[in-house]
Structure 1
Amino acid sequence: MYVVVVGCGRVGSQLATLLASEGHDVAVVDESTDSFKRLGATFNGLVVQGMGYDEDILRQAGIEQADALAAVANYDNANLVTADVATRIFNVPKVVVRLDNPEHEKSYQKIGVDYVCGTKMVATAILNHLHKGTFRHHVALPSADIAVVEFMVGELVEGKTVKEMEIPATLRIASIVRNDTYIIPDGSTPLHKGDLVVAAARKGAFSQIKSFLTTQEAKK
Structure 2
Amino acid sequence: MKVIICGAGQVGWQIARHLSGERNDVTVVDNNADLVRRATDTLDVQGIAGHASYPDILERAGARDADMIIAATFSDEVNMVTCQVAHSIFSIPRKIARLRSQSYLTAIYSDLYRRDHLPIDVVISPEREVAEAALRRLNAPAAFDTELFLGGKVQLLGIQLDEDCPVLNTPLRQLTDLFSTLRAIVVGVRRNEKLFAPEPGDQLFADDQVYVVSHNEDVTRTFEIFGKTVHRQERVVIVGGGNVGLAVAKALEGRADRLRAKVIEKNRACAERAADSLERTIVLHGDGLNMELLAEAGVDRADAILAVTDDDKTNLLASVRAKQAGCPMAIALINDPTLLPLMEPLEIDAYINPRATTVSSILRHIRHGRVRGVYSIGDAEAEVIEAQILGTSPIAGKAIRDIDFPEGVLVGAVMKDGKVVKPTGSLRIDEGDVIVVFAMADDVPEVERLFQVSIDFF
Give the TM interval when normalised to the shorter protein.
0.7 to 0.9
Cα deviation code 1:112-151 (max 9, x no counterpart): 3211112211211111112277224454443893433212
2:303 to 46, 61, 67: 67
1:5 corresponds to which residue?
A: 238
What 5-or-longer segments of structure 2 have no aligned partner? 1-233
1:191 corresponds to which residue?
A: 429
Please list, as runs of the form range in 1=range in 2, the aligned pairs for 1:84-103 lying within 5 A after superposition: 84-87=320-323, 89-103=324-338
TM-score (norm 1): 0.83
2:361 to 100, 111, 125: 125
Does 17-26 or 50-59 show the bigger shift?
17-26
2:414 to 134, 151, 176: 176
Cα deviation code 1:82-124 (max 9, x no counterpart): 111111x112122221222334322234433211112211211
Percent identity, aligned pairs only? 22
Q: Is the 8 A contact 2:305 2:329 kept in 1?
A: yes
Q: Distance in 1 between matches of 2:279 and 2:419?
A: 45
Please list, as runs of the form range in 1=range in 2, the aligned pairs for 1:106-117 lying within 5 A after superposition: 106-111=341-346, 112-117=348-353
CA distance 1:122–1:51, shift in 2 (3 Å): same
Shift of 1:42: 5.2
Q: Distance in 1 between matches of 2:402 and 2:341?
A: 36
Q: Distance in 1 between matches of 2:441 and 2:389?
A: 18
Two-structure CA RMSD over aligned residues (Å): 2.7
Shift of 1:16: 2.3
Q: Distance in 1 between matches of 2:328 and 2:388?
A: 40
Cα deviation code 1:156-203 (max 9, x no counterpart): 333333123254641112332233344433323333333321122211
What 5-or-longer segments of structure 1 have no aligned partner? none
Shift of 1:41: 5.8
Q: Distance in 2 between matches of 1:76 and 1:133?
A: 37
CA distance 1:118–1:73, shift in 2 (3 Å): same
Q: Distance in 2 between matches of 1:168 and 1:196?
A: 19
Write the letter of the residue equivalent to 1:204: D
1:79 corresponds to which residue?
A: 315
Q: Distance in 2 between matches of 1:62 and 1:117?
A: 26
Does 141-150 or 27-36 show the bigger shift?
141-150
2:249 corresponds to which residue?
A: 16
1:213 corresponds to which residue?
A: 451
Aligned residues: 218
Does 1-10 or 71-80 show the bigger shift?
1-10
Q: Distance in 1 between matches of 2:440 and 2:305?
A: 33
1:51 to 287, 293, 297: 287
CA distance 1:205–1:8, shift in 2 (3 Å): same
